Amino acid sequence: MIRLYRSALAVCLVNMMFGGALQTATADSEANKALIRDRWLPMMQTADQAIADEIFAPGFTCHAPHYPQASTLAGYRVEVINAAAILADWQVVLEDLLADGDTVVGRFTAGGKMPPAGVPYTNTWIIFFRFADGKIAEEWWQYDLLGVQEQLGAIPATRESYTWGEASTVTGAPGDPSTNKSIVEQSEEIWNTGDVALAGEVFAADFVNHDPALPDVVDLESLKGFILLTHTAFPDFHVKTDDMIAEGDTVAVRRTVTATHQTDFMGITATGRKIRWTGMTTYRIADGKIVESWWSYDALGMMQQLTMPEWSIEGPWITSLPTPMGNMLVKGTWIAQDEAKTRFTGEFEQINVFPLLTDLYPDMEAVKFAGALATKTVVNEYEMTALEYFTSRPGPGHEEIVGIAIVSGTVRLTGPDQALGMGTGAYYMAAQDTDQNGFPDEGEQPVLCYPWQWSARRLTAMPGCVPTPMQQ
């Protein structure tokens, strides 16, 4: 554990001094693509952990909707091993690959047979890979989990095919990456405004769309119709581009969508709920227009937010944070600050203490929470920030602060009394608070930034026991 914090501290200091410039300078797009094609893909198909040892960077992080357990390298390995071990005829096929700077984007088709009945299924993926020093440092996944659920019979089937479909045969001048990015940015703006009159300027007349979750949206007219339908149901529909890369005639986009459900949508009565989901698209450009696109997004998460029960974070909770020394427990209570119950303050206290962070704070004797804030962002999800202090007692009646931590992240309610959280802890030295107001000075950078995951259970009424008769 001590070595982990020393390594993380060293990485933080290097990033502070060089601002990540070293990673950009050493990016090798062709080598990165070769690693995905020749090393990552065989590892994914066979679960060869010797390959995994070679290709992933220290501190690897994975962002995969519905799979928070895969966010760390250890959890990611487990998911890869399980897929190869459990699924018969498991295979992953690379459909397309592009790179730009330190980022590679792959489009895949995966499939196998699910035991015990051997039900076959197909799943379409788009993955963004970020590289650092020739290794995979971060991944963002999108896949058709809604389609998988349908194929396995967990929910009623809504379509006949779960593949990417037939590719377009339209060809033309590929353009240059910079111009192609601008064309795709215009298409993103059409989604934001709903102004489909501009679609003809961006999309070719023989445009072909590949969206396994929307098999009827196959050409320009059906795409325009769906954009109008979406803006009717979600008038404030907004797309935020999180990343965009281009190579040759292809552009890949990673995005976050927010929207408020105001009218009926695909058979779901208006809920008034604000929802959020993530997605990715790859576009092919010819003669200055989009001729083809492939979509992958969290359709299952979107539908769940529209249909699932809504719960509140309000009340008492016991939070469990896994560490190499055991689970750290924190008791806390979230208190609503408005009638709509969208803003909360939190009061927390650590129950058990492990000798963590001793490299940073060797004199630490206690951990004290100053408070926490949580704001509802979408249904059953909150953004939170907590402030805590690490203190020591150099003498009788004397207690001083040796460190400050700001923990921020997302809390998602997965049931009426269960929650999962994910975020980071930014750790500062007491000397970084020169005016001693309890906060790090403006402009100060944390000496350590550490990822945390946690689970929480609401304290509810529990049955008592039957007293044991006392012996006379």
Of the ranges 6-20, 162-176, 293-307, 441-455, which one carries the lowest mean pLDDT score?
Answer: 6-20
Of 250, 317, 305, nearest to 283 (Cα)?
A: 250
CA–CA distance from 20 to each of 13, 119, 134, 358, 448 (Å)? 11, 46, 14, 27, 16
The average pLDDT across 218-231 equals: 97
Helices (H) and strands (E) in the chain, counts: 11, 18
Is 20's pLDDT higher than 60?
A: no
Q: What is the pLDDT of residues 93-116, one digit of tens each?
A: 999 999 999 999 999 999 999 988
In the structure, what pLDDT confidence band is assigned to residue 228 with cuts at 50, 70 and 90?
Answer: very high
How far is Cα 136 from Cα 48, in angstroms, rounded to an integer?
A: 16
Average pLDDT score over the chain: 92
Q: Coil, helix or strand for 344?
A: strand
pLDDT, position 411: 96
Level-2 CATH architecture, domain 27-139: Roll (3.10)
Query: Does pTM top 0.85 for this prediction?
Result: no
pLDDT above 90 as % of the chain: 85
Question: How deeply is 309 buried, as exposed, middle or buried, from its count of CB atoms within 10 A (0-12, 13-18, 19+)?
Answer: exposed
pLDDT, position 356: 79
pLDDT, position 7: 37
Q: Please report which residue ranges of 263-360 form alpha helices under DSSP H.
A: 299-307
How far is Cα 369 from Cα 348, in angstroms, rounded to an integer?
A: 6
Domain with CATH 3.10.450.50 in the chain: 27-139, 177-307
pLDDT, position 355: 78
pLDDT, position 471: 80
pLDDT, position 23: 38
CA–CA distance from 236 to each of 25, 187, 194 (Å)? 40, 17, 10
Level-2 CATH architecture, domain 177-307: Roll (3.10)
Q: What is the pLDDT of residues 51-99, one digit of tens each?
A: 999 999 998 999 999 998 899 899 999 999 999 999 999 999 999 999 9
In the structure, what pLDDT confidence band is assigned to residue 437 with cuts at 50, 70 and 90?
Answer: very high
In the structure, what pLDDT confidence band is assigned to residue 18 with cuts at 50, 70 and 90?
Answer: very low
Is 166's pLDDT higher than 90?
A: yes
pLDDT, position 382: 97
The average pLDDT across 414-440 equals: 96
pLDDT, position 470: 83
In the structure, what pLDDT confidence band is assigned to residue 324 with cuts at 50, 70 and 90?
Answer: confident
The average pLDDT across 31-37 equals: 97
Is 21's pLDDT higher than 70?
A: no
Is 439's pLDDT higher than 80?
A: yes
Is 10's pLDDT higher than 50?
A: no
Angle at 63 between CA 61 and CA 64, to 5 degrees: 135
pLDDT, position 148: 94
How far is Cα 138 from Cα 56, in angstroms, rounded to an integer?
A: 9
Is the separation of the CB atoms in 270 and 263 below 8 Å? yes
Q: What is the pLDDT of residues 202-211, one digit of tens each?
A: 999 999 999 9
Q: What is the pLDDT of residues 263-304, one digit of tens each?
A: 999 999 999 999 999 999 999 999 999 999 999 999 999 999
Query: Among 2.40.128, 3.40.140, 1.10.3430, 3.40.50, what is the CATH number of 315-458?
Result: 2.40.128
Is the separation of the CB atoms in 133 and 26 below 8 Å? yes
Domain with CATH 2.40.128 in the chain: 315-458
Is the separation of the CB atoms in 313 and 419 below 8 Å? yes
Query: For residue 102, which amino acid is it?
Result: D
